[in-house]
Every structure is written in C-alpha cells, then in structure tokens.
Amino acid sequence: MPRLSISLLILTALLTATCENPKPSNSGDPSLNPEGKQEFIALYGSPVLDGSGSDDVWSQCEWYNIDQVWFGEPPTPKDFYGQYKLAWDENNLYILAEIVDDSLLDIHPESLERYWDDDCLEIFLDEDASGGIHQYSYNAFAYHISLDGHIVDIGPDSLPHFYDDHCLTRRITRGNTSTWEIAVRIFDGNQFDDTSENVPKLLSAGKKMGFALAYCDNDRSLERENFIGSVAIPGEDKNRGWIDADVFGILELHQH
C-alpha cells in the first residue's frame, strides 16, 4: 500500500477516536487546594439577569454539580438534579443554577417561619474566606432564596430576617426544570451593621471567598426531605453550613 494511503488511514483512525471519545469540557467536580478545600472559579462578565441563562457570559463558564447529600436520603435524578455556574464583575457575584425538581412547594410564603422546609436555593458566602462560626453573626452569610424571591438569613439577634436587597433573583420554570439567575452583592461581614447603610464591596480578580451552594427539596410534606449541597462535608453531621463557614469551599475570581 502506498505510504500516503497508510498515512491517511492512520489520520482517519485518530480523528475517529477523538470524535468518539471527546474529552469532557466540564467535569462538574471542583479541584482541591493544598489545605484540602474544594475550589471553584468564577469568570469575569456581566450577564443579563432574565432567568434564561442564555447570555454569552455563561457559555464560557464551567458547570459545577450540586450532588452532596447534607440531609436525608440521596434523591433520584427525577426527584432532584442540580448544577450551577459562576461569574462576576466589580459589583456582583453571579450564579446561574439549573435545578430539576419534580415538585415545587412553598408552604410558608412570605414567612420567616420554617423557611428551610420549603423548596429553596441557599447561598453560603464568607467574604474574606476566614471561616469560623457564623450562626448568629455576619462572619458569613447563609442566604435562603425562596420561590417568591425573598432572601432570609439569621441575624445576630438569633432571629431570621429578610435580606432582599442583598440578592437580585430571576427564575424561569419550564416543566420540572427551573433556571435561576442571581446577582449577589458582597458585604464585609466584619463591618456589617443592621442600624446603618452598608456599602457592598467592589470585587477584583484574584479575590477569594468562602462559598457553597445548596438546595432544600420538599416533596409535599411538612418538612424538607433532602438537603443537597455543592461541597463534600466530612463526618456524620453534614448539615453544618448554616453554623460553620469552615465547611465552605473556596471561590476565586478569575479575569479570563
């Protein structure tokens, strides 16, 4: 067989193998830093928040999974599946979350009572990545975002409060799939004061924050059946994110 023909056959075989076994562009699994913390990356860009998730900014960002069982039993993919992307600009952290949930339930509308037992998305943020206890302080925030867009967290007085001005949320639900787009204003928890006006921090490339994302899933009962998070938490008690920022992952802002 002529040498040219052999070369063409080899090239064809290599191209076929590459097409049949493409390298995944998004693994969905965060990497680990030297301290064993899971790391997430947000890319620079300012998406339009309309709930569609179709902005060009998101096409450059990696999908991360929400697949760690923090409470309850592992759900089936039909019952729950979640993934998300991260972006940022000088004014906001942006989150695009795609949630598959076979039933959406909000039995405590516009309420500060048992808001965690409704279907809701929860954002955990530690602005300076210092870790530590934040249950009744602003050392870190645990934003519960309800289906009607209210934002709830616990204040230093040990009571839940609305923090609706901290996040701008848009959600579109088609069938069992909800697309959430959220702009999060980042506050310095060490300086945050309920009695005065608080100015959000300006963000820049290289900044690191403590971060995790989770979903409370309720399938028509009085209490949530599942609580699924984005980071693996060691030990038996995995429902610790609302108390201890040490279990968060590390989010770093990248320019490209």
Lowest-pLDDT range of 28-42, 64-78, 229-243? 28-42
**Domain spans of the chain, in order of start:** 27-254
- pLDDT, residue 28, reads 58
26-35, 212-221, 240-249: which is most confident: 240-249
Comparing 124 with 147, the larger pLDDT belongs to: 124
Band of pLDDT at residue 24, cut at 50, 70 and 90: very low
Check residues 116 and 26 and name the one with the higher pLDDT.
116
pLDDT tops 80 at residue 196: yes
Q: What is the mean pLDDT of residues 178-187?
A: 98
Residue 205 has pLDDT above 50, yes or no: yes
Residue 96: predicted pLDDT: 98
pLDDT, tens digit, 9 for 90 and up, residues 4-18: 443 434 334 433 333
- pTM of the shown model: 0.86
Residues 137-154 have a mean pLDDT of: 95
3-state secondary structure the chain: CCHHHHHHHHHHHHHHHHHHCCCCCCCECCEECCCCCEEEEEEECCCCCCCCCCCHHHHCCCCEEECEEEECCCCCCCCEEEEEEEEECCCCEEEEEEEEECCCCCCCCCCCCCHHHCCEEEEEEECCCCCCECCCCCCCEEEEEECCCCEEEECCCCCEEECHHHEEEEEEEECCEEEEEEEECCCCCCCCCCCCCCCCCCCCCCCEEEEEEEEEECCCCCCCCEEEECCCCCCCCCCCCCCEHHHCEEEEEECC
**How much is the pLDDT for 174?**
94
Please give the residue that has the higher pLDDT: either 121 or 27.
121
pLDDT for the residue 35: 77
Say if domain 27-254 classifies as CATH 2.60.40.1190.
yes
Question: What average pLDDT is seen over the chain?
Answer: 87
Q: Is the pLDDT of residue 120 over 70?
A: yes
Predicted local distance difference test score (pLDDT) of residue 11: 39
93-118 pLDDT per residue, tens: 999 999 999 888 777 767 788 888 88
